[in-house]
Amino acid sequence: MPRLTPDFHAWLRSASERLDPGNAWPDEQVERLRSAGVLQWTVPRRFGGQELPEPELLRGYLDLSRSCLTTAFLLTQHNAAVQRLVSGSENDWAAALLTAVARDGAWCTVGISHFSTSRQHLQRPVVAADQSPDGTWRLNGCVPWVTGAAHADWLVTGGALPDGRQVLLGVERGSPGVTIETPLPLMALNATQTGRVHLGQVRVPADRVVAGPADQVMKVGTKGGTGSLGTSVLALGTALGILDRLNEEVQSRETLREVVSLLHSEADGLQTGLLTATALEQGSAGSAEELRFRANSLVSRTSQAYLAACKGAGYVQGHPAERAIREAMFFQVWSCPQAVVNSTLNDLTCRD
Ligand SMILES: Cc1cc2nc3c(=O)[nH]c(=O)nc-3n(C[C@H](O)[C@H](O)[C@H](O)COP(=O)(O)OP(=O)(O)OC[C@H]3O[C@@H](n4cnc5c(N)ncnc54)[C@H](O)[C@@H]3O)c2cc1C
């Protein structure tokens, strides 16, 4: 695997501290990913990409999230779009876009949570899709969550047809009718510039179908998706990054050594579980959910242990411990299947 250099990670790690208080898009981080060839990781070789095997991709996510969660997360959203394109039916448009990703660093993102974890309790779909007799698609509604939409060249999103089937399409950012709202003010990760995207009668040419129409479009084709191993790896990498900082405290406080060692052992066990599941081609949905629950729990507890060790100083805005707490909470809400939410709620209430 084309591993990123220690210098790359050292820079990412120190730059991540400057990212947090503001919401400026991390241009330099994205540019460095581009020039290091990271955007090619998930693109097939026939389009100029590197087509990394799943374990290597997860290893890359692990290292990146250990250094900077914002950067790693942005990459996963870009790759989610690319992986949907790869698993979709190949046509000239998709081939040209995948080539542009590999060769020119075209940036993509996804707005797909309204098919899985967001707005599921509403009676009406939040985005409606229909197709005119000439094959052109039309999207109308509001995509609730899109990361970095204003900086993406392409957005993979979709809507529900009148008969209930769903379609995923490639939408060019500048298409007439696409309005990107001001990013939502978040607990953490504001530099990801995440927010709503309005689609006002957006017309999408017929050849830009990424998946569907299908009853459950998120189940068509690709690996990954809600609560996938990749999401758990990001939580694990974040926990390891926090442990790196906690370890620095051990140098002056021997009493923390056992805590760090216990959390490290748990992280090692989780890493083994994730790699085994990858070898088993994702394992079952149940095992992926169990791994995600364990990863969420680990990152939450690790961030709390770090704050407890840093005491009141860690509670002051700008301290890495308070940032760790806020970033750890991201995993309770991002791409988190209901089964994982249920396990967390049971755990928090000490129910089996
Ligand atoms: C920082 C961040 C970045 C993200 N980036 C992306 C991205 O790039 N692409 C993407 O597709 N997704 C993204 N997501 C979305 C994410 O994966 C989840 O889908 C999202 O967090 C789900 O939260 P929600 O508020 O939309 O859930 P919802 O279930 O829609 O909840 C919304 C509100 O409805 C209430 N509610 C929920 N269920 C019920 C019910 N049964 N009855 C009554 N009220 C109910 C909730 O309490 C809540 O107040 C992102 C999320 C975050 C936080």
Domain range summary for the chain, segments of one domain joined by +: 6-104, 108-218, 229-348
Yes or no: say if 292 and 231 are a contact pair by the CB < 8 Å rule.
Answer: yes
More confident residue, 296 or 226: 296
Residue among 75, 82, 84, 113 whose CB has most ligand 1 atoms within 8 A, to mutate: 113
Contact residues for 119 (Cβ-Cβ < 8 A; gap 6+): 113, 126, 144
Rounded to an integer, the average pLDDT of 7-35 is 94
Residue 290 CB partners (closer than 8 Å, separation 6+)? 343
> 253-281 pLDDT, tens per residue?
899 999 999 999 999 999 999 988 887 66
Q: Does the CB atom of residue 37 touch ligand 1 within 6 A?
A: no
Percent over 70 (pLDDT), the chain: 96
φ, ψ for residue 135 (rounded to 5)? 95, -15
Give the three-class secondary structure for 44. Answer: coil
Among the residue ranges 3-7, 40-44, 240-244, 342-346, the one predicted with the least confidence is 3-7
Any atom of ligand 1 within 6 Å of the Cβ of 334: yes
Cβ–ligand 1 contact at 168 (below 6 Å) = no
Encoding tokens for residue 282? 């994702």
Residue located nearest, by CA, to atom 36 of ligand 1: 121
Find the 339 Cα to ligand 1 centroid distance in Å: 15
- How much distance in Å is there from the Cα of 255 to the middle of ligand 1? 40
Q: Which 3 state secondary structure label does DSSP give 269? A: helix
Query: Of 24, 26, 74, whose CA–CA distance to 330 is shortest?
Result: 74
Specify the length of the chain in residues.
Answer: 352
From residue 117, alpha-carbon distances to 4, 38, 178, 227, 341 in Å are 33, 28, 23, 10, 11
Cβ–Cβ under 8 Å, residues 269 and 104? no
How far does residue 119's CA lie from ligand 1's centre (Å)?
Answer: 7
Assigned superfamily of 6-104: Acyl-CoA dehydrogenase/oxidase, N-terminal domain (1.10.540.10)
Span from the CA of 145 to the centroid of ligand 1 (angstroms) = 8
The pTM of the full predicted model, rounded to 2 decimals, is 0.96
Place of tokens 């400057």: 18
Return the half-sphere exposure (C-beta side, CA atoms, 13 A cut-off) of residue 187.
13
Task: Give the tens place of pLDDT for each residue, 278-310.
Answer: 876 655 666 899 999 999 999 999 999 999 999
User: Is the beta carbon of 115 within 6 A of some atom in ligand 1?
Assistant: no
**Helix 54-67 / helix 229-250 crossing angle, nearest 10 deg:** 40
Same CATH fold assignment for domains 6-104 and 108-218? no
Atom number, ligand 1, closest to the C-alpha of residue 184: 1
Best mutation site among 69, 127, 145 for ligand 1, i.e. most ligand atoms within 8 A of its Cβ? 145
Output the CA 185–ligand 1 centroid distance in Å.
Answer: 14
Amino acid at 100: A
Residue type, 37: G
Measured from the CB, is residue 348 less than 6 Å from ligand 1? Answer: no
What is the per-residue pLDDT across 171-196, written as a single tens digit (0 to 9) for each? Answer: 999 999 999 999 999 999 999 999 99
Q: Is 41 helix (H, G, I), strand (E, B) or coil?
A: coil
**Does the beta carbon of 127 lie inside 6 Å of ligand 1?**
no
- Per-chain mean pLDDT for the chain: 93
What does DSSP assign to residue 152? -
Give the residue, by CA position, lying nearest to ligand 1 atom 37: 121
Nearest CA to ligand 1 atom 32: 119
State the distance from the centre of ligand 1 to the C-alpha of 341, rounded, in angstroms.
12
Q: What is the pLDDT of residue 223?
A: 65
Pocket lining: 193 vs ligand 1, CB cutoff 6 Å = no
Q: Which of 59-73, 168-182, 217-231, 253-267 has the lowest mean pLDDT?
A: 217-231
- Alpha helices by DSSP H, listed for the chain, are 6-19, 27-35, 54-67, 69-87, 92-104, 229-250, 257-279, 285-315, 320-333, 338-348
Closest alpha carbon to 204 in 226, 172, 160, 246? 172
Give a three-class secondary structure readout of 170-222.
EEECCCCCEEECCCCCCCCCHHHCEEEEEEEEEEECHHHEEEEEECCHHHCCC
- In ligand 1, the atom with minimum distance to the C-alpha of 144 is 26
Class of domain 229-348: mainly alpha
Q: What is the third-level CATH fold of 108-218? A: Butyryl-CoA Dehydrogenase, subunit A; domain 2 (2.40.110)
Residue nearest to atom 45 of ligand 1 (CA): 121
Q: Is 270 in the pocket of ligand 1 (CB under 6 A)?
A: no
User: Is-contact 52 58, C-beta < 8 A?
Assistant: no
Cα–Cα dist 340/227, whole Å: 8
Whether 68 and 19 have beta carbons less than 8 Å apart is answered as yes
